[in-house]
């Protein structure tokens, strides 16, 4: 059994993770334009995933210290790798959406200028 302080830290991190995950979903449903949805989805889900993975790492390290076993170190390392993969994938998707929305707004503005000029 782990210490009450560690259990409380894990519980708080999981609560934060679920809370920010909910904020991300609500933001995707409520915000009107793609940029605000993109901002909410990227920031809130990264905070959520980071908090949840940090709680898994704390659990793995505390269990490793109390009972030993290589599986807990493997769990902590896999969690760090998962965090890096999710962060990289979110950054790539974020930049792709940002580039497409920039090019989409410039293409929509061009025909309006041509119509006004003629």
Tens digit of pLDDT for each residue in 12-65?
A: 999 999 999 998 888 888 888 877 787 777 788 888 988 999 999 999 989 888
Q: Please report which confidence band the pLDDT of residue 104 belongs to, taking 50, 70 and 90 as the band edges.
A: low
SS (H, E, C) 68-114: CCHHHHHHHHHHHHHHHHHHHHHHHHHHHHHHHHHHHHHHHHHHHHH
């Amino acid at each position: 059994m782990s210490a009450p302080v560690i259990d409380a830290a894990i519980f708080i991190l999981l609560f934060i993770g679920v809370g920010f995950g909910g904020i991300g979903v609500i933001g995707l449903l409520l915000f009107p334009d793609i940029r605000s949805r993109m901002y909410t989805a990227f920031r809130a889900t990264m905070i959520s995933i980071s908090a949840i993975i940090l709680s898994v790492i704390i659990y793995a390290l505390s269990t490793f210290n109390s009972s030993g076993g290589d599986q807990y170190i493997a769990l902590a390392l896999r969690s760090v790798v998962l965090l890096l993969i999710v962060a990289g994938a979110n950054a790539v998707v974020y930049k792709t959406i940002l580039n497409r929305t920039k090019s989409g707004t410039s293409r929509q503005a061009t025909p309006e200028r041509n119509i006004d000029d003629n």
